């Protein structure tokens, strides 16, 4: 049976120092799983990545993990994913992750998470896809970054409309609901061929 929605979650390969980061990842996975949805993610079994995947599976959802061969051991590839794709490199991973999802959500994480978030955000700005992008701002984690981006707007390097392409929320369920409601679906036109 096809899942009613598919959402790509970017998040830390570490869990962070506070329990609320783990709790937020559990809430996200549970929300997806309880609705029979599909999680697309980086395929690792470490940190918040493993947490969100476990929570999705435990709640009855499907999980598509996509991991480069070189990271299979380093990130503990999650063998019990519904689908585990071992791909040749990071570019293939990111392309497949973005193709298989109808919306994107960044949870707290490190530079890998930031890179993935900014990539789908810039792809949206450039019109390569029309899928919604969200940031889960657990415990104000993303506030310094969002403030810096407003600095960029004031300095004339960004427009407000670019900021408006990302939905920021603190409540996992409410944010997921908004993303799913505005998603064109995982099969929506998605043309990365010019990148
Ligand atoms: P981090 O947020 O740094 O813990 O990383 C989260 C995930 O992002 C991990 O699965 C990393 O393999 C992945 N990652 C790291 N660098 C990149 C990159 N350049 N592009 C895409 N994903 C990356």
Instruction: Give the residue, by CA position, lying nearest to ligand 1 atom 22.
Output: 112
Is the CB of 39 within 6 Å of ligand 1?
no
Query: Which sequence spans correspond to the domains of the chain?
Result: 8-183
Is the CB of 113 within 6 Å of ligand 1?
yes
Count Cβ atoms below 10 Å from residue 48 Cβ, excluding itself.
Answer: 29
Residues 6+ apart with CB under 8 A from 147: none
β-pair partners for 39: 7, 63
Residue 40 sits at φ, ψ, to 5 deg, of: -110, 130
The band of 194, judged by pLDDT with boundaries at 50, 70 and 90, is low
Burial (Cβ within 10 Å: 0-12, 13-18, ≥19) of residue 153: middle
Is the CB of 98 within 6 Å of ligand 1?
no
State the pTM of this model: 0.95
Say if residue 193's pLDDT is above 70.
Answer: no
Candidate CATH numbers 3.40.50.300, 3.40.50.1980, 1.10.340.70, 3.40.50.450; the one for domain 8-183: 3.40.50.450
Is the CB of 36 within 6 Å of ligand 1?
no
Give the 3-state secondary structure of residue 39.
strand
Is the CB of 14 within 6 Å of ligand 1?
yes
Q: Cα–Cα distance between 33 and 27 in angstroms, integer?
A: 10
Distance 179 CA to ligand 1 centre (A): 22
Per-residue model confidence as pLDDT tens digits over 9-63 = 999 999 999 999 999 999 999 999 999 999 999 999 999 999 999 999 999 999 9
Q: What is the pLDDT of residue 185?
A: 80
Say if residue 1's pLDDT is above 90.
Answer: no
């Amino acid at each position: 049976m096809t899942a009613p929605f598919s959402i790509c979650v970017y998040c830390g390969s570490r869990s962070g120092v506070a329990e609320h980061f783990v709790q937020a990842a559990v809430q996200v996975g549970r929300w997806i799983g309880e609705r029979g949805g599909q999680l697309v993610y980086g395929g690792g079994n470490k940190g918040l990545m493993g947490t969100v995947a476990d929570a999705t599976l435990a709640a009855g959802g499907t999980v598509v993990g996509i991991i480069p061969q070189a990271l299979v051991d380093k990130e503990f590839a999650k063998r019990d994913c519904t689908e585990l794709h071992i791909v040749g490199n990071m570019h293939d991973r990111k392309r497949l992750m973005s193709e298989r999802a109808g919306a994107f959500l960044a949870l707290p994480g490190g530079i890998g998470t930031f890179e993935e978030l900014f990539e789908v955000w810039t792809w949206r700005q450039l019109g390569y896809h029309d899928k919604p992008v969200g940031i889960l701002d657990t415990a104000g984690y993303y506030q310094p970054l969002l403030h810096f981006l407003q600095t960029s707007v004031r300095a004339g390097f960004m427009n407000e409309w670019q900021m408006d392409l990302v939905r920021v929320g603190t409540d996992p369920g409410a944010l997921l609901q908004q993303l799913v409601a505005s998603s064109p679906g995982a099969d929506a036109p998605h043309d990365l061929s010019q990148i």
